[in-house]
Every structure is written in structure tokens, then in C-alpha cells.
Amino acid sequence: QHKFWETQPVGQFKDVGNSGLPEGPIEDPTPLSEVKQEPYNLPSLYEWVTCDMDNEETCAEVYNLLTNNYVEDDENMFRFNYSKEFLGWALRPPGYFKSWHIGVKVRASKKLVAFIAGVPARIRVRNEVVSMAEINFLCVHKKLRSKRLAPVMIKEVTRRVHLENIWQAAYTAGVVLPTPITTCQYWHRSLNPKKLIDVGFSRLGARMTMSRTIKLYKLPDSTVTSGFRKMELRDVPAVTRLLREYLAQFVVAPDFDENDVEHWLLPREDVVDSYLVESPETHEVTDFCSFYALPSSILGNQNYSILKAAYSYYNVSTKTPLLRLMNDALIVAKKKDYDVFNALDVMENEAFLKELKFGPGDGQLHYYLYNYRLQNAVKPSELGLVLL
């Protein structure tokens, strides 16, 4: 069934429900001197490259590969179109390793035909904070699919992660592999229903007209909560405290410090946006919400080429009810001309999805850990981790 994944230190389907297996690392680390020192072999027409994401041309090559070959929906109507600025942000967090940004080129033409990337992260699983790699942007050019290139790329990134003395990883995928720690649902909140219907992202509901639909999803022009404002650099300590306290309740969550918060949550134009509520009386930061910008190319539509989507990231409510906080997030996203606001059913998101008129999508997202066994699958609501 899974000729490659069966060889890897991941939860195997045959072990599901076997309560005799302990939680934690599946394999012990080996001495670094025993880690394979040379790259895995590629078919001879191809060569490994390390992608320097500081370099604009390299960044553009990766961007072009992904724009034309990365994840599509089941009906091939939309394809993720991560921006260059987004890739620069996603791949260069504090302490990142350039050697984990791995490309495959055609030897003769130097054309980039495959990519995989990792970034370091501290992820807490129950009471243990584990140094991990977050693996993302695995992509093989459409013309090179089903040639077993993906397993070589995964082994190569694993080797380079091991060389940094890191032995665990976290990743998400739309496909089922051995074995998800949880399976999440995407929910979508229409901000520009007319465009979403025109491009086939959503359909007019039963007994609905376009004008009734537009009215249904209408949002006020300005936010409702007093003290609601954009996050600034000076807010990093307060936001870090708020977030650390909040994420402590989940089974799996990032262990963010101030450097992480500055990188991952400080607003960056058209990449990531964060807002908070500062109490007008005490000037205390009591609530926080954030989303990232991930547009999709619209494939084969005459009128539109880009779907502007915001994705819910980390949200914390202590004073402002979560429902009201997220409604304000929708209002700012609408103001910034996003067409749709997406959220997974992770953390406490279920508490606002239906009420704020999100509808369930058909896409599922499976979460995985590499070389770390969890005794039982967790519920989406026990997950405090959002990967890009």
C-alpha cells in the first residue's frame, strides 16, 4: 500500500489501537557521525540544489514552480499561489537552515523541477517540548509525477534535518498517509459572495437569490470592539504572554518565544496580519487575532485569475468574546478586499464557525508527526498548531 511510508518511523496503520506502544520518539537519535554525509542519489538527469531564499531570482524560481505545480483542489479549479514575500517569510524564521530549502534541477537546463522545505520549530506534545522540523512545500513538476521522486526528496530533507541534530518533524497534507494525529476540516466564510459564485468556489444556496446572498454575508464597514487595533512591534512581549498562556491548553502546539512571535505574527503587508484588543482603561492586551494571506490561482476563468483568501492563524480571547473578536477579523479582512476567510476546526474555532456563517468545505487536512508516536489520535479542538 505505502511502500515508502512503511519503511519510515511514523505511526503505522497496523499499530492503530495498539495501546502497548509508548508515547514519544519511535527511533532514538544516532550519533551525528553516523548520519549519511552525502546526498541521496537522484536519477542522473537531475541534481540537488540548495535554494538561497535571500536571492530574488532563486525565490522567483521557487515561486514559479509552486505557482504552476503546487496543491490544487479535487476539481482542479484552484491552485495555491503563495506569494514570493510569503515564501521569504515562511522559509526564514529565527534560526532557519538554508540547507533545508532543497531544490531539484535538470542537470542540463538548470530548470527547477522539484522542491521541499523545512524550518525549525519547538513543538510541545503534551508535556514535552520537542525540537522539530516543519516540512512544507513538497512539490514535483507535473511532468515528473509518479516516478518516486517524492520519497527521495523526503529522505534527503530528513538527512539534512538529522545533520542539525533534529529527529522529529510535523507536517500536514491533503492525502491520507500513515498515520494522521488528527484530521481537520476547512470552513469558508464568504466575503465577496458574487465573485465566489462566479468562479465556482461556492454555489447559490437553495431558494437564494444573488441579492439575498450578498445581504446575508454583508459586514459593517468598521470594527466593533473598542481598543481593537493592528499589532505593533511594542506589543510583542504582551502578545507572547497571551499566546503562551492560551496555547498551553492544547495537546500539540508551538512553544513560541518573543523572537518567534515577532517573526510569525508581526503584521507584514499581504503576508500576515495581526490585531489585538488593548483595554482603553488599563492598556492591557486582552485579545488577539491573526490571519495569513494565501491567494489561489483560478484556473480557466474568463473574468478572474486570483482568489484572495485569508486563513485564520492564531486567535486568543480572554475579555472580548471569541465570536465578536472573529467578527472584527472578518470586517478587517473584507476591508482589505479578501474574497473569502478560511479557518480549520482547530483550537476553539468551532465556537464561532457556524454562528459567523462559515460553511464546511470539501477539503480535509491531515496532521502528521515524524518519529513521534502519539498514543491516541487527538481531536481537532485539541490541536493548537497551524502550519502554512
Q: Which residues are designated catalytic?
A: 388
Which of residues 125, 138, 197, 353 is near ligand YNC by CB under 6 A?
138
If the CB atoms of residues 73 and 85 are measured against ligand YNC, the closer one turns out to be 73
Query: Which position has the grid cell 476540516?
Result: 185
Residue with cell 503505522: 12
171 binds, among Mg ion, ligand YNC, none (CB under 5 to 8 A by kind): ligand YNC
C-beta of 2: minimal distance to ligand YNC in Å?
3
* In the complex, least distance from residue 9 CB atom to Mg ion, rounded to whole angstroms: 22
Min dist CB 176 to ligand YNC, Å, is 9
Between helices 236-247 and 258-265, what is the axis angle to 10°?
100
- What are the helix (H) ranges across 114-257? 149-162, 193-198, 210-216, 236-247
Q: Which is nearer to ligand YNC, 68 or 222 (CB)?
A: 68
Q: H helices of the chain, where?
A: 56-69, 84-90, 149-162, 193-198, 210-216, 236-247, 258-265, 322-335, 350-353
Q: Compute the least distance from the CB of residue 141 to ligand YNC, in Å.
A: 8
3-state secondary structure of 185: strand
- In this complex, which beta carbon is closest to ligand YNC, that of residue 152 or of residue 340? 152
CB contact at 8 A, 26 and 10? yes
Tell me the one-letter amino acid at 19. S
First to last CA, the chain: 28
Among 158, 179, 223, 286, binds ligand YNC (CB under 6 A): 158
User: Which residue number, 299 or 351, has a Cβ lying nearer to ligand YNC?
Assistant: 299
The answer to whether 135 and 98 have CB atoms below 8 angstroms apart is: no
How many of the other CB atoms lie within 10 Å of CB of 305?
A: 13
| CB of residue 137 to ligand YNC, shortest distance in Å | 5
* Count of chain residues binding ligand YNC (CB under 6 A): 35
User: Which of 291, 368 has the CB closer to ligand YNC?
Assistant: 368
How far, CA to CA in Å, does 125 sit from each of 23, 131, 321, 376, 378? Answer: 10, 11, 28, 12, 11
Instruction: Note whether 136 binds ligand YNC by CB under 6 A.
Output: yes
Supply the minimum distance, in Å, between the C-beta of residue 115 and Mg ion.
13
Task: Using the minimum distance from each CB to ligand YNC, give the nearer residue, 142 or 212.
Answer: 142
Where in 40-79 is the site for ligand YNC (CB under 6 A)? 69-71
171 binds ligand YNC (CB under 6 A): yes
- Please provide residue 327's backbone torsions phi and psi, each rounded to the nearest 5 degrees: -65, -40
- Establish if 175 lies at the interface with ligand YNC (CB under 6 A): yes
Give min distance, CB of 187 to ligand YNC, in A. 20
Quick note: the x/- pattern for Mg ion over 124-163, rule CB under 5 A, is ----------------x------x-x--------------
Rounded to whole angstroms, how far apart are CA atoms 99 and 203?
44
Options 26, 119, 123, 140; binder of ligand YNC; rule CB under 6 A:
140
Q: Which of 310, 298, 306, 305 is nearest to 336 (CA)?
A: 310
Which three cell numbers, joined as nine digits, stand for 328? 472584527
Backbone angles phi, psi at 100, to 5 degrees: -90, 5
Work out whether 354 is an interface residue with Mg ion (CB under 5 A): no
CB atoms within 10 A of CB 295: 20
Picked from Mg ion, ligand YNC, none, the partner binding residue 14 (CB below 5 to 8 A depending on kind) is none
Residue in 65, 121, 161, 285 binding ligand YNC, rule: CB under 6 A: 161
Stretch that binds ligand YNC, among 131-139, 244-252, 260-268, 301-309 (CB under 6 A): 131-139
Single residue of 60, 177, 271, 377 touching ligand YNC by CB under 6 A: 177
- Give the contacts of 223 (CB within 8 A, at least 6 positions apart): 328, 331, 332
154 lies in the binding site for ligand YNC (CB under 6 A): yes
**What region does 347 belong to: left with phi over 0, alpha with psi -120 to 50, or beta?**
left
Contact residues: Mg ion, CB under 5 A: 140, 147, 149
Q: Which residue ranges make up the site for ligand YNC (CB under 6 A)?
A: 2-5, 69-71, 133, 135-140, 145-151, 154, 157-158, 161, 166-169, 171, 173, 175, 177, 370-371
